[in-house]
Structure 1
């Protein structure tokens, strides 16, 4: 298979930041898309609202913690892109069990449903599973370090997905995005947090630690990595880093965002935003060699270009944010 055109695909977590971008890309490529969205009684569909009433995307409401509902959603699909997860690191300190239930048990439900349906699985990991880099750039062989309840739950989810490859020969690929950013991202992440404050006219930008470095990947590049992984037989049973191979400190990133927004704001460290001692991940820098060699994927959008596009989107959607309020 070298195309997803005409194939039936399911995206879990489809209404979110990366999920909705992936749905758009799949629709553009001619896939028959089913979207599993978290059930809400008011039927709001987030970034998928434009597809309500259309024939391009079939909406299925549910929860990955419910094995029966997951099984119904996966039935008849050729490929499942599993993105549904609890992702906020600060909230994982407050509600760790919720992360186990959604991220680990939810992944088990999705993998079991894929096995029953004969569907291949592209499972979403995170660079947070590596913890602070012991060696850099980070390859897929880097030790896994659970420095937060969130990262621990994602390590468990990754291993659960891969166990279905080893035990049952389910076609599974684990994609491990490094810090994805871009339009539609919520203020729980650092880039929209900074931009929303800037575009609201703040004279000070309040942040946690300024020294950690991150490898930021634009959201369309990440979504393209998901597609490349799904289309590559060589990627079955493998873990693939999706990152640019470049890093930037949070303090320097803030300065670039201030410039992109045309602001003169100053950066102030806010103690309430600091992670607990021993939990801060000081450095994340990807080695994407494996993804390039097995799938042909490579990032295309530069950080400068991506920050400008993201800044413009936040400015145009400022009413979706609460500038100045720290969102756990």
Structure 2
């Protein structure tokens, strides 16, 4: 038996949200999936879920920026996994206003409704981007926060709002902080799908932004297990907890590793449009995941170099399927 009668997942139509939603349903949870309303009646990535998953879902189409819709979606739910947010860093230079509305105000809507409805657990999703460039490694949860992009600043604001509701009202909320998640269905604006889709379409000279920064990549199954462990742990309320592999690799080395796994020669071309402004580029991310091990009993199944290769192989296999590749415009820069 699970601890919660009904769980709401916001952002269920997205990359991580869809994997999380499917895993929760398979594990026997009663799930309400909050998807972004659109006139196409699209459920995002959930449209591609197996029929037996879709039959079990209670889908709510709405907008996280609308407090009344958020409150309606949360009626009858005793736990919320809040993933809905705008996440593209380049687009946040372009339209920062939407990031404040979606990420900060959207989170406030979830917190207010949870407080009014007496929800038993809220898991708020943060990001490793709130740390900015590592001042020391590995990065633990006490590392200073640095808003190096409007996206990062909006997530810091959202995280602090969640903690404020915990401290001010005793709201049972905790903050999960995944480092760079990758895997099937990820948007082509993220670096691993950018590399794989270009190579899968036959390009051997691929366009990337800066290749010297390092990242701590996490296969999506590990991130999903982190969310479920966070939800079920009695020790996660009021906490900020990193979900990371504790393995650091540069973008350039990642590209070369993918090329090796795909058995192709690779030439990297720097595309100016993909470069972040100098002070905005996060140069180094490397997660300390001890707190997740201690409080959540979570550890990555795809950790270290061997685990990264295994996760990349699964990701390459998915993106190399022509039916999946059709969803991507690999020849365009996706902001």
- TM-score range (shorter-chain normalised) is over 0.9
SS at match of 1:81: strand
Superposed CA deviations along residues 172-206 of structure 1, whole A, max 9, x for unmatched, are: 11000000000010101000000000000002011
**2:315 is aligned with 1:314:** no
Alignment partners' CA distance in 1, 2:80 and 2:90: 28
User: Which residue matches 1:27?
Assistant: 25
SS at match of 1:40: coil
Alignment partners' CA distance in 2, 1:320 and 1:261: 20
Cα shift at 1:324: 2.4
Normalised TM-score (structure 1)? 0.97
Superposed CA deviations along residues 32-67 of structure 1, whole A, max 9, x for unmatched, are: 000110000110112111377944110001001100
Alignment partners' CA distance in 1, 2:125 and 2:211: 27
Between 124-133 and 37-46, report the one with greater CA deviation.
37-46
User: Which residue matches 2:220?
Assistant: 219
User: Which residue matches 1:8?
Assistant: 6
Residues 60 and 52 of structure 1: CA distance in aligned 2, closer, same or farther (over 3 Å): farther
User: Which residue matches 1:89?
Assistant: 89
Superposed CA deviations along residues 134-159 of structure 1, whole A, max 9, x for unmatched, are: 01000000000000000000000001
User: Which residue matches 1:17?
Assistant: 15
User: Which residue matches 2:273?
Assistant: 272
SS at match of 1:112: helix
**2:292 is aligned with 1:291:** yes
User: Which residue matches 1:74?
Assistant: 74
Superposed CA deviations along residues 212-257 of structure 1, whole A, max 9, x for unmatched, are: 0000000010011011111111111000000000000000000001
Cα shift at 1:259: 1.1
Cα shift at 1:5: 6.6
Alignment partners' CA distance in 1, 2:212 and 2:318: 26
Alignment partners' CA distance in 1, 2:66 and 2:50: 24
**2:147 is aligned with 1:146:** yes
Cα shift at 1:163: 1.0
Q: Which runs of 5+ in 1 are unaligned?
A: none
Map 1:297-308 to 2 at 5 A: 297-301=298-302, 302-308=307-313
SS at match of 1:298: coil
User: Which residue matches 2:191?
Assistant: 190
Alignment partners' CA distance in 2, 1:320 and 1:298: 32
SS at match of 1:292: helix
User: Which residue matches 1:46?
Assistant: 44
- 2:4–2:79 contact (8 Å) kept in structure 1: no
User: Which residue matches 2:100?
Assistant: 100
User: Which residue matches 1:258?
Assistant: 259
SS at match of 2:58: strand
Normalised TM-score (structure 2)? 0.95
**2:156 is aligned with 1:155:** yes
Cα shift at 1:323: 1.5
Alignment partners' CA distance in 2, 1:258 and 1:78: 45
Alignment partners' CA distance in 2, 1:79 and 1:241: 20
- 2:3–2:232 contact (8 Å) kept in structure 1: no
- 1:221–1:299 contact (8 Å) kept in structure 2: yes
Alignment partners' CA distance in 2, 1:51 and 1:96: 36
Between 208-217 and 108-117, report the one with greater CA deviation.
108-117
Residues 92 and 102 of structure 1: CA distance in aligned 2, closer, same or farther (over 3 Å): same
**2:117 is aligned with 1:117:** yes
